[in-house]
Amino acid sequence: MRHPYPIREIARQAGLSEATVDRVLNSRGGVRESTIMEVHQAIKDLDRQRTQVRIGGRTFMIDIVMQAPERFSTAVRDALEAELPSLHPAVVRSRFHFRETGPASELIAVMDKIAKRGSGGVILKAPDLPEVGAAVGRLVAAGIPVVTLVTDLPGSARLAYVGIDNRAAGATAAYLVGQWLGDRPGNVLTTISRGSFRGEEEREMGFRSAMRVAHPQRSLVEVTDSDGLDATQRDLVLEALRRDEGIVAVYSAGGGNAATLDAFDTLGRTCAVFVAHDLDHDNTRLLRERRLSAVLHHDLRQDMRRTCQTIMRAHKALPDEGPALPSAIQVVTPYNMPPGVSP
């Protein structure tokens, strides 16, 4: 690949040795295919971040480690890279470690590799498991600040959490569903990608608690463990709809909403109210098509800016500030799309 970058810069971006990068770039062989892909990806990342590569200013290399569906991890990548210019005069460079699903051991292996290699900070979206918390502890012990994003690990040594108040978001969804259903009878399907993600679990708990108080007559039917992946989500929702013919509404605390609607369509069922989270590409399209009633949205660009600034503060590059407030929850309908949201 033709590129304008020194080998040491590519090596730093990829987290590999200069010798390994040199072998890949000069096609000397003896390198695994996965390593070759890492080098090529590093060059692509440098191309996207090229406006940030400059002589002046302090440089922070951060790692973004996430287990999430591709549609959300792509939204995070886009949000971060859109915010990089706003962080001048500091220069923030990023390495991405995304996976849609898999055992926690694979995620922990990535975190341990970062702890051994070094990093300016880690932005983490991971399940709230003891072994993941222990891996966070090893990162912090290595001098690497960790900021959790969207879903928290409160029992870990993480520096801060950036995101919405998930319980309040769930209660907000319950209010909307209750208002829109009115006196119409029927049950509500709640979907979460996996119970080990604290953020989604807290959303579901907030929703369940508020529904129990305001609408005790409605049954809630839970679907979980799809990892937000469309094929799995569709099968699980189909099974739930076949078991319960009274389901007329959906609160999606996780994702896979196109698949959920496809399951309704397959059975010729109507979804009267559907409240979801995040204006990713799928949800934006579904909202414009009036397939979703509302999306509970927070400014992901603002969240990414806050995570970077939190890491900078850990390195004393910015003055300390008081405890961070949760991100604002926006109720988005087809009529109040935030500026800049693509179709």
Dump pLDDT digits (tens) for 282-313. Answer: 999 999 999 999 999 999 999 999 999 999 99
The yes-or-no verdict on residue 99 having pLDDT over 50 is yes
Edge-to-edge strand order for the sheet containing 187-191? Answer: 220-223, 187-191, 247-252, 273-277, 294-297, 330-332
Identify the band that residue 4 occupies on the pLDDT scale cut at 50, 70 and 90. Answer: confident
pLDDT of residue 192: 95
The reported pLDDT for the residue numbered 143 is 97
pLDDT at 91: 84
Greater confidence (71 vs 185) lies with 185
Q: How confident is the model at residue 249 (pLDDT cuts 50, 70, 90)?
A: very high
Query: How high is the pLDDT of residue 318?
Result: 83
Angstrom distance (rounded) from CA 37 to CA 43: 10
Distance separating alpha carbons of residues 180 and 174, to the nearest angstrom: 10
Which token pair is 105?
């051991």
pLDDT of residue 13: 86
Q: Where are the beta strands (DSSP E) in 85-213?
A: 91-99, 121-125, 146-149, 160-162, 187-191
CA distance 310 to 118: 18
Q: Residue 317: pLDDT above 70?
A: yes
% pLDDT > 90, the chain: 72
Q: Can you state the percent helix, strand and coil of the chain, rounding each to 5?
A: 45, 15, 35
Span of 24-28, 149-153, 232-236, 333-337 with lowest mean pLDDT: 24-28
- Dist CA 191 CA 204 (whole Å): 8
Residue pair 275/333 in contact (Cβ under 8 Å)? The answer is no
Is the pLDDT at 130 greater than 80? The verdict is yes
Q: How confident is the model at residue 5 (pLDDT cuts 50, 70, 90)?
A: confident
Please give the single-letter amino acid code of residue 78.
Answer: D
Predicted pLDDT of residue 239: 97
Taking alpha carbons only, the member of 199, 204, 127, 129 closest to residue 162 is 199
The rounded mean pLDDT for the chain is 92
Task: List domains and CATH numbers for the chain.
Answer: 7-55 (1.10.260), 59-163+300-326 (3.40.50.2300), 166-297 (3.40.50.2300)
- Which carries the bigger pLDDT value, residue 44 or residue 109? 109
d(CA 219, CA 214): 12
Distance between terminal CA atoms of the chain?
Answer: 33
pLDDT digits (tens, 9 = 90+) for 52-70: 444 345 789 999 999 998 9
Question: How much is the pLDDT for 28?
Answer: 85
Helix pair angle (166-181, 198-214), 10° resolution: 40
